[in-house]
Structure 1
Amino acid sequence: MSIRQTKRPIVLAAVILAMFMAAVEATIVATAMPGIVADLGGFSLFSWVFSSYLLMQVVMIPVYGKLSDLYGRKVIFTIGISIFLVGSILCGFSFSMEMLIISRFIQGLGAGAVQPIATTIVGDMYTKEERANIQGYLASVWGISAIMGPLLGALFIEYLHWSWIFWINVPFGVIAMLGVHFFLHESVEKKKQSIDYSGAFLLFLAITPLMLVLIQGAVWGSPLVVVLVFVSIASFALFICVERRAVTPIMTLSLWKNQQIRNANIASFSAGAILLAVSTFLPTYVQGVMNQPPIIAGLTLTAISIGWPISSTIAGKLMLKTGFRVTALIGGCALVVGGLFYLLLPVINHPVWAGVGSFVIGVGMGFSTTTFIVSIQSTVSWNVRGEATSMNMFMRLLGGAVGVAFLGGLLNRRLQMELADKQSDLSFEPTIDSVNRLLEGEQRSNLTRIELETLQVGLTNSLSIVFLTIFILALISFFFILRLPKEST
């Protein structure tokens, strides 16, 4: 890349705008989901709104990362955002939960290019010392979006329509594309390249059946589950074989031999599961169990993105003095403490407690993820930097996708059991979609006191399993952060 020709301040502003778009999308959608479910119905499909988006995003991240190394960051970034915006528009026009899920697939297809390539562009334009500080600035985007996201979501639901949470992406995406297209200048060798499409397809085939098993809460040992798990394992094995022989694999397996990259990626997997689990299920708990309005649910989630940029900025400066491992360990400790807050949430049933827990989780994400990205980018050359960066984000989002699917399945199974045991207390058929009545104002007001308590207790007990799993995932992240090499500075 020709740093001399690139207008770094303008490109950085465009990259920040793209990051802002992705960050606002996360906070608005998570906060608005109870309202969307109340409008479209289909609580049993709740997790698929997140998982469908994440599935395509996860599969496409390594593809976009490889393509950006082959053809340059600019063109792939533009293609990704274009597809993302098409998906966003379709999401806004969705008239059923099924259409929303399909539209989220399309949105995720483009989203795989936004954050990883934006981060890679920054890695290309700046030196290691500059990069540490710039990554902190990028993380501050999450703080701004965290404040604006829930507020915009609440305003759109209150005065406009939930569809605007998706349409708001359009102006941000267009401006970001123009900034990168006109002011980022690259020197990419023009030659015929082969793309590992078979590897991408096998990766998709390996992940999708597994997510179907997890999210639907299927009975283990049933013929359908056996077939799906077999397809997943067989596809993953074939994926490994294809990647070893491919001329330009979408995932260079030799990168996993690097101890820094390997442990950072595994820790990112579990951290991603924590982040998406909190974003997906906390607003439902705050609204359904605590009887709080959407704005309060949004603020409890906002705290994550306030703690994230603050700690990320500190991490950018601290890692240059203490090294990558010490900085990441601070993040690992914060994740464990934040997980403990959620574990105790059913006991200390207050939104402030939830908000503090979210803030501490945000601190953990800021210290750990910023350190992972900078350390990985500092250990590889330009021609694999896009792939290495994308691989780390791939693992984080894969963890989120698998985590949400698995926890959604746990939630559904436990909720079914809880409601089945209390069937005599309800005047309606106890199904998973019965929770819709807690999230929609008019239906909630029609519930008797006993019915309200029954649904809330069932939801509380079910989400307690989710919170316990979040704590376990935090311990796993801390374990692999401990395994980072001490000499990485």
Structure 2
Amino acid sequence: MTGATGIRESVWGPGYLAVTIGALSLVFLAAIESLAVTTVMPIVSRELDGALLYAAAFAGTLATSVIGMVAAGAWCDRASPLGPLTAAVSLFVVGLLVAGLAVSMPMLVVGRLLQGLGVGGQVVALYVVVARVYPSPLHGPLFAAFSAAWVVPSLIGPLVAGAVAQYLHWRWVFIGVAVLTAGAFILVVTRLRGRDLATEDPSTARVAPRLWCAAAVAAGVLGLSLAGEAGPWSLVVVAASVVVILTAVRPLIPPRTLRAGRGLPSVVLMRALIAGTLFGSEVYLPYLLIDGYGFTPTWAGLGLTASAVAWAAGSAVQGRYGDRLGNTRITLLGVAQLLLATLIATATAMWHLHPAVMIVGWLFAGGGMGLMYPRLTVLTLAYSTPQNQGFNSSALSILDSVGSATTIAVMGLVFTSLATTDAGFPVVFGIGAVLAILALIPGLRLGHAHEAQADG
């Protein structure tokens, strides 16, 4: 992008550098937390005797993040995003401390629920900061930088988390991230203070109904996660939870989203499907490496590293060549890679192939997500106006979390029911493959919103 002075603008330019560093710091730490918890959770579950709550520890965080997203989105549409960002980071840090000090699996799940409230609000607030601080041609490169901010965490996060759990204690994974997040937030506040980030035309839409819907969605996802403990009523709980989720989520997302309407509705729906594919499957990747192949937590963490690096590489390609490739090609290339990765994981689990086959195959999952994920965020902002940036950003993140949480919950139910057989891991990865195929339906209906990106 070239500014009025004729100087090419960049997210690293003097006018944006401070905000870019602050925002990337929070993304960096969120990445550390996500990758670290995925790595150590098998050890945590074993020590706290929490196998039945294993899936809930992940799905619950995603479920409560919906509430945080709705609250932050509504707050941002009325005022500066700095207020919701402060509240979100505070909840995230408290949740990490509760989880790190947990003496039982239910207590740890409570900490994870608090983390969800915080991380959900943080994501939406950061998206709105991008929309109000940076011109639209810089959105693509910045979201590519956000994805690239996962590079270092992906290189050191799983490995360090595994080493900490193996040689010190898993509690320090949570407590350490809490301390670092508090420090990073001080940097963010310093960078954003004094900037006028409030919208010129505040939204007057009612918030309470949307918050009730968000709470209902969270309750539905938690109900789905815990349905396995309902005994003979399990199927009833599953059916009721699905109905609650589908009914309550509708006011929180653009009209026609669940029908894959062309444009923004398909953008939001596709994000949910690919998120469910990747994050649902990835929960069981270190689980299989530790329980099925005898990996230590340190080496199991490395299984996630290659994929995250591939994600950053795919994101860099999208940031530079996204407009040239176009939305249709990005969809086809991204979904094909995601499908290939889940099929390789399914085959590895089914026929007990060498674990290197699955680890290398998971590179394709990261590459595909790197192409698609930031592109969908760019499209969301391109379809938005200043009056609905908060709503649309929260809708994207909400259905992302709902898709991931619902998938993890369903996979958890299936995996638990097949615990006495060898079919558990192949089936959960197979579910991921089916979702990848379904992502083509909205993926071919994304349309164009005159999104602009810098080719620098």
Match in the other structure for 1:200: 211
Whether 1:82 and 2:90 are equivalent positions in the alignment is yes
Query: In the alignment, is residue 233 of structure 1 matched against residue 233 of structure 2?
Result: no
Pairing partner for 1:11 from 8, 16, 19: 19
CA distance in 2 between partners of 1:192 and 1:397 (Å): 24
CA-CA distance at 1:195 after TM superposition: 4.8
Query: Partner amino acid for 1:481?
Result: G
Q: Determine the C-alpha separation between the residues in 2 that align with 1:80 and 1:307.
A: 29
Structure 1, unaligned runs of 5 or more: 244-249, 419-457
CA contact (8 A) 1:329 1:368 kept: no
- Give, in angstroms, the shift of residue 374 of structure 1: 0.7
The question of 1:53 aligning with 2:64 is answered no
Give the unaligned 5+ runs of structure 2: 1-8, 452-456
Match of 1:385 among 379, 384, 389: 389
Separation of aligned partners in 2, 1:253 and 1:483: 15
**If the length of structure 2 is used for normalisation, what is the TM-score?**
0.87
Change (3 A) 1:482 1:253: closer
Out of 289, 292, 295, the residue aligned to residue 289 of structure 1 is 292
Q: Percent identity?
A: 21
| Structure 1 counterpart of 2:327, from 321, 324, 329 | 324
Give the aligned residue type for 1:342. Answer: A
Q: What per-residue deviation string (whole Å, max 9, x for no partner) do you get for residues 313-335 of structure 1?
A: 10111122233332233212211
Partner of 1:442 in structure 2? Answer: none
Distance 1:269 1:234 in 2: 17
Match runs of 1:358-397 below 5 Å: 358-397=362-401
Deviation at 1:305, TM superposition (A): 0.9
Which of 70, 86, 92 aligns to 1:62? It is 70
Are 1:18 and 1:115, in contact at CA under 8 Å, matched by a contact in 2? no
Separation in structure 2 between the aligned mates of residue 376 and residue 281 of structure 1, nearest angstrom: 30
Task: Decide whether aligned partners of structure 1 residues 62 and 78 sit closer, same or farther in structure 2, where only a CA change above 3 A counts.
Answer: same
Q: Does 1:481 align with 2:443?
A: yes
Letter in 2 for 1:92: G
How many angstroms apart in 1 are the aligned matches of 2:241 and 2:359?
41
Once the two structures are superposed, residues 43-70 of structure 1 have per-residue CA deviations (whole angstroms, 9 ceiling, x without a partner) of: 1111111112111012321321221121
The question of whether the paired residues in 2 share the 8 Å contact of 1:34 and 1:284 is answered with yes
Which residue number corresponds to residue 228 of structure 2?
217
State the AA in 1 paired with 2:207: D
Cα distance, 1:360 vs structure 2: 0.6
Task: Output aligned runs, 1:22-421, within 5 Å.
Answer: 22-184=30-192, 185-188=195-198, 189=200, 195-217=206-228, 225-226=235-236, 229-230=239-240, 233=243, 237=247, 243=251, 251=253, 253=255, 259-346=262-349, 347=351, 349-415=353-419, 418=420
Q: Which residue of 1 aligns with 2:6?
A: none
Q: What's the TM-score once normalised by structure 1's chain length?
A: 0.82
Which moves more between the two structures, 205-214 or 401-410?
Answer: 205-214
Aligned amino acid, residue 428 of structure 2? V
Q: 1:484 to 1:232 in 2, by over 3 A?
A: closer
2:74/2:391 contact within 8 Å kept = yes
User: Of the two, which has the highest radius of gyration?
Assistant: 1
CA spacing shift, 1:291–1:269, aligned 2, 3 Å: same
Give the letter for the 2:176 counterpart: I
Closer, same or farther in 2 for the Cα pair 1:343/1:98, shift >3 Å?
same
Tell me the secondary structure at the aligned position of residue 382 of structure 1.
Answer: coil
SS in 1 for 2:404: helix
Distance 1:139 1:270, change over 3 A: same
- Residues 209 and 229, structure 1, Cα contact 8 Å, conserved in 2: no
**Contact kept in structure 2, 1:84 and 1:109, CA below 8 Å:** yes
In structure 2, distance between residues paired with 1:313 and 1:61: 27
Give the whole-Å Cα distance in 2 for the aligned partners of 1:288 and 1:57.
Answer: 29
**Residues 184-237 of structure 1: CA distance to partner in whole angstroms, max 9, x if unpaired?**
2124259795652232223322442354235433689x5575367447636854
Shift of 1:177: 2.5
In structure 2, relative to structure 1, the CA distance for the partners of 1:310 and 1:219 (3 Å cut) is: same
The whole-number CA distance in structure 2 between the counterparts of 1:60 and 1:37 is 26
Which has the larger displacement, 359-368 or 275-284? 275-284
Quick check: 1:271–1:474 contact (8 Å CA) kept in 2? yes
Change (3 A) 1:329 1:123: farther
Residue identity opposite 1:85 in structure 2: V
Q: Is the 8 A contact 1:213 1:225 kept in 2?
A: no
> Distance in 2 between the 1:377 and 1:342 partners?
34
**Aligned residue type for 1:463:** F
Q: Distance in 2 between matches of 1:408 and 1:65?
A: 30
Alpha-carbon separation, structure 2, partners of 1:101 and 1:198: 26
* Pairs aligned (count): 434
Does residue 463 of the first structure (1) align with residue 431 of the second (2)?
no
Residue 85 of structure 2 aligns to a residue whose secondary structure is: helix
Range with greater deviation from structure 2 (176-185 or 84-93): 176-185
1:450-482 deviation line (CA, Å, top 9, x unaligned) = xxxxxxxx3x42111101111111111133212
Q: 1:42 to 1:187 in 2, by over 3 A?
A: closer
